[in-house]
Structure 1
Amino acid sequence: MSGLLRLLPDEPEPAHDLALAPAPARHRPRWATDPIDELAGELAAVCAAAVHPDEIAAVLEADGLTGEQIAERYGRADAFDLAAELFARVPRGHPEPEPAPDPWKVKPGQFLLRSLVFTLPGFGYALGSPLLAGGQDRFGLPAGTGALIASALVAWAWNQALAHRAYLRLAAGGRGAAARCLGVGAPLGALLATGAAAALPAPPGALAFAAGQVLYLAAATSLLVLGRERLLLLALLPTATGGVVVLLTEPPPVVGVVLLLATAGGALFAAGYEIARARRAEAPQAGPGTLPLGASVPYGLFGLGCGVLTTIAALGDVLVRHPGGAGGPVVLALTLSMGVAEWLLYRCRGLALAALAASTSTGGLLLRVGRVLTLCVAGYLAALAALTLGVSALWPGDPTPSGPRLTALLALGAVLWTGLLLQAYGFGWLPALLCLGAAGAETAALALRISAPATDQLVICTGAAAGLLAAATVLLGRITTHR
Structure 2
Amino acid sequence: MSGPLRLLPGEGDSLPALPRPRSRTRARPSWAEDPIDELAERLVEPVAAAVHPYEVAALLESDGLTGEQITDRYARHDLFTLAEDLYERVPRHYPEPPPAPDPWRPDHLRCALRGLVFALPGLAYVLGAGLWHGAADVTGLIASALVAWAWNQGLSHRAYLRLAAGGQAAAGRTLRIGAPAGALGAAATGLLVSGPGTGAAFAAGQSCYLAAASVLLVLGRERALLVTLLPVTAGAAAVVVWRPPPPLALGLLLVTVALSVLAAGHAVRAALRSSPTPGPDTSPGLLLSLPYGLFGLAAGVLAALAGADDPRSIVVLTLSMGFAEWLLYRYRSLALGALRASTSARGFTLRAGRALAVCLGAYLALLALGALVAGTGPPALLALGAVLWTALLLQAFSVAWPPAAVCLAAAALEAGALAAGLPAGPVQLICRTAAAAALAVVACRFLGRPTAHR
Give the structure-2-normalised TM-score: 0.92
| Structure 2 CA distance for partners of 1:292 and 1:285, relative to 1, 3 Å | farther
Q: Which moved more, 1:65-74 or 1:300-309?
A: 65-74
Confirm whether residue 294 of structure 1 aligns to residue 287 of structure 2.
yes
Q: 2:231 corresponds to which letter in structure 1?
A: P
| Structure whose CA Rg is larger | 2
Asked if the contact 2:70/2:76 (under 8 Å) is kept, the reply is: yes
Aligned partner of 1:406 in structure 2 is 378
**Which structure 1 segments of 5+ residues have no match?**
25-29, 138-142, 318-326, 393-399
Contact in 1 for aligned 2:102/2:333 (Cα 8 Å): yes
Q: Are 1:224 and 2:217 matched, yes or no?
A: yes
What does residue range 6-405 of structure 1 map to in structure 2 within 5 Å?
A: 14-15=25-26, 20-24=27-31, 33-133=33-133, 136-137=134-135, 143-283=136-276, 287-315=280-308, 317=309, 327-390=310-373, 392=374, 400-401=375-376, 405=377
- The one-letter code sitting in structure 2 at the alignment partner of 1:409 is L
Are the aligned partners of 2:367 and 2:378 in contact in 1 as well (CA < 8 Å)?
no
Offset of residue 361 of structure 1? 1.6
- Paired residue type of 2:238: V
CA contact (8 A) 1:298 1:432 kept: yes
**Counterpart amino acid of residue 448 in structure 2:** G
Percent identity reads: 52
C-alpha displacement at 1:195, in angstroms? 1.8
CA distance in 2, matches of 1:83, 1:284: 51
CA contact (8 A) 1:144 1:201 kept: yes
**1:458 — aligned with what?**
429
2:382 and 2:169 map into 1 onto residues whose CA distance is 39
The Cα offsets for residues 49-99 of structure 1, whole Å up to 9 and x where unpaired, read as 111112212212222323343233322233322211111000112222323
Tell me the CA shift for residue 419 of structure 1. Answer: 0.3
**Which segments of structure 1 move beyond 6 Å, counting only runs of 4 or more?**
none
Measure how far apart 1:189 and its partner are.
0.8
Does the CA contact (< 8 Å) of 1:131 and 1:206 recur in 2?
yes
SS in 2 for 1:102: coil
Structure 2 residue aligned with 1:429, among 398, 401, 413?
401
- Alignment RMSD (CA, Å): 1.8
CA contact (8 A) 1:438 1:464 kept: yes
Match of 1:271, SS?
A: helix
Structure 2 counterpart SS, 1:174: helix
Deviations 1:116-156 (CA, angstroms, capped at 9, x unpaired): 111111111122223203xx23xxxxx31111111100100
Supply the distance in 1 between the matched residues of 2:274 and 2:98 (Cα, whole angstroms).
39
Partners of 1:243 and 1:389 in 2: how far apart? 24
Aligned residue for 1:74, secondary structure, equals coil
Question: Residues 384 and 410 of structure 1 are in contact (CA less than 8 Å); yes or no, is this contact kept in structure 2?
Answer: yes
What does residue 396 of structure 1 align with? Answer: none
Size of the aligned set, in residue pairs, is 437
TM-score (norm 1): 0.87
Runs of 5+ in structure 2 lacking a partner? 1-17
SS of the aligned residue for 1:380 comes to: helix
Structure-2 residue corresponding to 1:420: 392
Amino acid at match of 1:73: R
Deviation at 1:13? Answer: 6.3
Post-superposition shift, 1:266?
A: 0.3
- 1:198 is displaced (CA, Å) by 2.0
Give the match for residue 438 of structure 2: 467
Deviation at 1:406, TM superposition (A): 1.4
